[in-house]
Amino acid sequence: MKRAVIFFLVLAILAGTYAVWLKPWAKDEASPPAAGAALVPVTIPDSLSENAKIGMRLFQAKCASCHGDDASGRQGVAPPLIHKIYEPSHHADEAFQRAVSLGVRAHHWPFGDMPSVEGLSRGDVAMIVAYIREIQVANGIR
């Protein structure tokens, strides 16, 4: 019993040493993205519906400062909305409505809570969702 405890203690120390001292300088380790950098690559479709075009303008005005110009997220700020987590089967359109009007406690990402967003009607949010959904489809998220 005592040997098992010592073994796991030594293993934990070695793992901690690797994580703290060796891993950051590993040759294959890419440097972390800069604060505010996009988190995922996003392809914007060549054409958007009229509703999505309206949504794009609203998104740029109210959402892009946190979620990135193309909803690709921002390192250290907010998650990408062009991500499997936000596909319609997991986050329905009403989830976006509620997030805007009520805010959201952090539950998928380590970015902290999202505050409510002032100055957007349900119709405005519907246009923003149309924009997000069209970009999601263009990036293989259905």
> What is d(CA 13, CA 109) in angstroms, rounded to the nearest whole number?
28
**Which one has a higher pLDDT value, 6 or 37?**
37
Distances (CA, A) of 33 to 30, 122, 136: 9, 34, 23
Looking at residue 32, what is its pLDDT?
64
pLDDT at 107: 92
> Alpha-carbon distance 136 to 131, whole Å?
9
Cβ atoms of 139 and 42 closer than 8 Å: yes
Q: 74 - beta bridge partners? A: 78
The CATH architecture one would assign to domain 50-138 is: Orthogonal Bundle (1.10)
pLDDT at 34: 83
* Per-residue pLDDT reduced to its tens digit, 101-110: 999 999 999 9
Q: Are 121 and 54 in contact (CB under 8 A)?
A: no
More confident residue, 6 or 41: 41
Q: What is the DSSP letter of 24?
A: G
Domain boundaries, the chain: 1-31, 50-138
pLDDT tens-digit series, residues 49-93: 999 999 999 999 999 999 999 999 999 999 999 999 999 999 999
> How big is the chain, counted in residues?
142
Running DSSP on this structure, what letter comes out for residue 84?
G
